Structure 1
């Protein structure tokens, strides 16, 4: 029985980290992609760029200036900032740009991001709505690179590439930066084959006509929107040339809180779409399970491998157990050293990996307990 548990958990982890990416990338290489060959063609669609902001006074003006400077015809680009419950000067700062056409939607009562997005999309004038965050900044041609794909009537949504800035003062920039580089490679391949299993809400454009109002308690709005578009028979693809840049969390603790919230949302999505995913009804469902769900369940797989490995004998099992012990010891040394104000660069990746899996356990606990978003959401330091 313990041998079965070991190999069951080992194989699932191997599928997520190695087999699935390898198969998807190899299949994508055998299928010619037109994504990188497309060029923006007139007539360009009208676009509403929706910026969700909550107490973002520190960055909102920089975000607005970045949005207004994008290389897209001004008559076709509407910039809208939706801010619910902000208690700082965010609404006042946004209002200063009204003369430049920036639309401000502010409510004193905080009802959450999903309610804000529902309200903003309802007021948007553009054929295309582009979702963004206040702390993400687009490359000049980002909107052009996104909207060129909507010339294909089968495309319902386009996600851009999220890039993490390398900053020494940002504790998570190395780990997050590496993670998003790998994600970009995998999403490029998935997009070539069909649809990506989930988009990134920092730079995600969709046809407004396909938007379905989000449930008030939705955690991962970008995942929910992706599912609704694919349910309607459209593709959601990835455009790596449309780049959004942002800073990582200042501390690893903040990053862990963000990841826990994302994992909570992943389990919520799995449960709400269980008729589609369990068992998987199509290739998109398989992609979601292998790309996203296996990542969220990785702590349980790692525990299964470790605990069963303790009782198994043989050269391979002894060697593999030693590797696990070294990994966790290095992560532990790195964590203890940090409490003393010392950082070992060689311990960072094992520490980051273990921290993200602890976050996944926390996210699962949130899901089981049915925690509300307001209970678990804390604003990261900018």
Structure 2
């Protein structure tokens, strides 16, 4: 082998990112395979690849014994000491057995083995790269689509976007750039298998981390996410810093931050609510944008009854129950929504005595004529006396 091979090794190391040691190991293993296959030799052999000159040598490894039964694997003590007087029983003697035309045969035979080992090493590098990216977000380019998957290129690897993980309001075309969430990375015989998603709730979380510096640096924390991909989502946010408004930080100036996330998700509506440890406040916030009059909490069953004004009932429940369903997922509490009038009929609202008496109607007022005349006369007399 010549200096061209060494140049090729340098190129492989730079382009593929594969260590030269791995490539050398692959070449030496290929040389052993080529030697045994082409020269019908079954004995233990070792190859040596000279990095300086690019030359290669094959050595037969034989054990020093008193009596030789297999000359391919053993050598007598007398023969061994002719090579080196220091050899003793049990030592291993290496004898060079490099054939004259081994270079040409080795190049032809070893090509496939070397290619395979390099491919395996490359797959290993890709796997190690992406196993660390599980539960992370990446930007990919759509290559093609069939009935089962959309195939998305992520750098040097191709990822699979299953139909079940595709947003219902999206169409994927060749060369479309999309942000995806890496759900799973598997090592297979064909290389690393990478699965991605556009519907996972954590995709929404990662997108906000990209757009909101306060979330990225930990000032604002996303506590929970509830999502119906392509239609509507809710996130709850919290900050330990009293000077930071977590909802405002996520919305951004003139809504620019949340709008960037909405645009990436093709118009998916996003409600941002403030988290609270108090379930009454948290559930009320989660049902935004509807107004809430009262939240009755059952700690044992982890359920709540939420009372809303009559005209807000449909808004609180949402289209096909979506708002209430997302609020329940976001808070982790069961939510039963009742209108104010239904709650009054059921006797569960108001929970406490009202702060103000009910308005008095004319039907509630009775007047005694004689008492009224006495009262009016006394009032008249008192006024007249004062005037005098």
TM-score with structure 1 length normalisation? 0.24
Higher helix share: 1
- The structure with higher relative contact order (CA 8 Å, sep 6+) is 1
Higher strand share: 2
Higher gyration radius (CA): 2
TM-score with structure 2 length normalisation? 0.24
